[in-house]
Structure 1
Amino acid sequence: MSCYQLAMSYSYLLPQRVNIAIMGFLALVVAYTMRACLAVAIIGMVEPMNRTATENSSICPMVEDRFDRFGNTTVNANKTLFTWTQVEQGWVLSSFYIGYVITHIPGGILAEKFGGKWTLSLGILSTAIFTILTPIAAVHGGFIAVIVLRILMGLGEGTTFPALSVLLAAWVPEKERSKLGSFVFGGGQIGSVLSYFISGLLMQYFVWNYVFYFWGIISIVWFIIFSLLCYSDPASDPLITDKERDYLTAEIGKLKRRTDLPPTPWIDIIKSIPMLSLICAQIGHDWGFYIMVSDLPKYMKDVLSYPVFEVGLYSSLPYIAMWLISVMSGCLSDYLIGRGLISITFARKLFTAVAAIFPGIFIIGASYSGCDRYLVVGFFVTAMGIMGTYYPGMKVNALDLSPNYAGSLMALTNGIGALTGVASPVFVGYMTPNTSLTEWRTVFWVTLAIFLVTTVVYCFGASGEIQLWNYPREWKEPEDKLDKSENREKKST
Structure 2
Amino acid sequence: MVNFTAHLITERTPLLYAKCAYKVVVTESQDKQDLKIYTNLVGARHVQALLLFFGMCFAYFLRVNISAAIVPMTEPTPGQTYHDWDSGTKSLILSSFFWGYVAAQMPASMLAKRFGGKIVLGGATVISSFITIFHPLASNNADWEVICVLRVLVGFTQGVVYPCIHTLLAKWAPFPERGFLATSVYSGAQFGTALLLAVSGNIFDSSIGWPGIFYITGGIGLLWSVIFFIFGADTPRDTKMISKEEREYIEALTGSDQESKTMAVPWKSIFTSLPFFGLITAHCGFTWGFYTLLTEMPTYLNKVLHLDVKSNALLSALPYFVMWLLCLTVSPISDMLINRKILSVTVSRKLFNSIGQWVPMVCLIALGYMTEDEKTLAIVLLTIGVGFNAGSFCGYLVNHMDLSPNFAGPMMGITNCISNLCSICAPLVVGAIVSNEENPDEWRIVFFITAGVYLVCNSLFVIFGKGTVQPWNDKVVTNSTTTLPNDAAQTAITSVPIYGQNSKEN
Distance in 1 between residues matched to 2:115 and 2:379, nearest whole Å: 44
1:20 is matched with 48
Distance in 2 between residues matched to 1:254 and 1:181, nearest whole Å: 15
1:347 is matched with 348
Amino acid at match of 1:27: G
Unpaired runs of 5+ residues, structure 1, are 1-11, 49-75
2:84 is matched with 83
2:467 to 464, 480, 486: 464
Displacement, 1:483? 2.7
2:445 is matched with 442
2:321 is matched with 320
2:96 is matched with 95
Displacement, 1:200? 1.8
**Contact conserved, 2:254 with 2:405, CA < 8 A, in 1?**
no
Distance in 2 between residues matched to 1:486 and 1:468, nearest whole Å: 15
Amino acid at match of 1:483: I
Q: Check 1:404–1:256 CA distance in 2 against 1; reply closer, same or farther (3 A cut).
A: closer
- Answering whether residue 57 of structure 2 is matched by residue 29 of structure 1, we say yes
- Once the two structures are superposed, residues 311-359 of structure 1 have per-residue CA deviations (whole angstroms, 9 ceiling, x without a partner) of 1100000001111111211111100000001100111111111111110
Q: Check 1:223–1:287 CA distance in 2 against 1; reply closer, same or farther (3 A cut).
A: same
Amino acid at match of 1:246: E
**Contact conserved, 2:474 with 2:500, CA < 8 A, in 1?**
no
SS of 2:262's partner is coil
**Contact conserved, 1:250 with 1:487, CA < 8 A, in 2?**
no
Displacement, 1:143? 1.0
**Contact conserved, 1:101 with 1:416, CA < 8 A, in 2?**
yes
1:294 is matched with 295
**Contact conserved, 2:279 with 2:396, CA < 8 A, in 1?**
yes
- Once the two structures are superposed, residues 263-300 of structure 1 have per-residue CA deviations (whole angstroms, 9 ceiling, x without a partner) of x2211111110111111111111111001111111111
Distance in 2 between residues matched to 1:388 and 1:414, nearest whole Å: 17
- Give 1:371-410 correspondences, 5 Å limit: 371=372, 372-410=374-412
- Give 1:36-435 correspondences, 5 Å limit: 36-47=64-75, 76-206=77-207, 207-252=209-254, 256-262=258-264, 264-371=265-372, 372-435=374-437
**Contact conserved, 2:304 with 2:440, CA < 8 A, in 1?**
yes
Distance in 2 between residues matched to 1:461 and 1:427, nearest whole Å: 28
**Contact conserved, 1:250 with 1:488, CA < 8 A, in 2?**
no
Of 200-209 and 277-286, the range deviating more from structure 2: 200-209
Amino acid at match of 1:243: E
SS of 1:103's partner is helix
Distance in 2 between residues matched to 1:257 and 1:437, nearest whole Å: 55
**Contact conserved, 1:25 with 1:187, CA < 8 A, in 2?**
yes
Amino acid at match of 1:424: A
RMSD (Å) for aligned C-alpha atoms: 2.3
Displacement, 1:375? 1.3
- Normalised TM-score (structure 1): 0.87
Amino acid at match of 1:429: G
- Name whichever structure is richer in strand by fraction: 2
Amino acid at match of 1:461: F
Distance in 2 between residues matched to 1:254 and 1:326, nearest whole Å: 25
Distance in 2 between residues matched to 1:332 and 1:142, nearest whole Å: 50
Of 102-111 and 360-369, the range deviating more from structure 2: 360-369
- Name whichever structure is richer in helix by fraction: 1
**Contact conserved, 1:363 with 1:444, CA < 8 A, in 2?**
yes
Unpaired runs of 5+ residues, structure 2, are 1-39, 480-494
**Contact conserved, 1:233 with 1:255, CA < 8 A, in 2?**
no
Displacement, 1:254? 7.1
**Contact conserved, 1:345 with 1:465, CA < 8 A, in 2?**
yes
Displacement, 1:119? 1.2
**Contact conserved, 1:251 with 1:487, CA < 8 A, in 2?**
no
**Contact conserved, 2:477 with 2:497, CA < 8 A, in 1?**
no
Structure 1: 4+ residue segments shifted above 4 A: 475-478, 484-490
Q: Check 1:130–1:13 CA distance in 2 against 1; reply closer, same or farther (3 A cut).
A: farther
Displacement, 1:195? 1.6
SS of 1:84's partner is coil
SS of 1:148's partner is helix
1:482 is matched with 497
**Contact conserved, 2:257 with 2:500, CA < 8 A, in 1?**
no
Displacement, 1:249? 3.5
Distance in 2 between residues matched to 1:142 and 1:82, nearest whole Å: 10
SS of 2:419's partner is helix
- Once the two structures are superposed, residues 430-474 of structure 1 have per-residue CA deviations (whole angstroms, 9 ceiling, x without a partner) of 1111111111011000111111011111100000111111116xx
Q: Percent identity?
A: 32
- Once the two structures are superposed, residues 51-87 of structure 1 have per-residue CA deviations (whole angstroms, 9 ceiling, x without a partner) of xxxxxxxxxxxxxxxxxxxxxxxxx112111111101
**Contact conserved, 2:171 with 2:256, CA < 8 A, in 1?**
no
**Contact conserved, 2:497 with 2:504, CA < 8 A, in 1?**
no
**Contact conserved, 2:477 with 2:499, CA < 8 A, in 1?**
no
SS of 2:63's partner is helix
Amino acid at match of 1:113: R
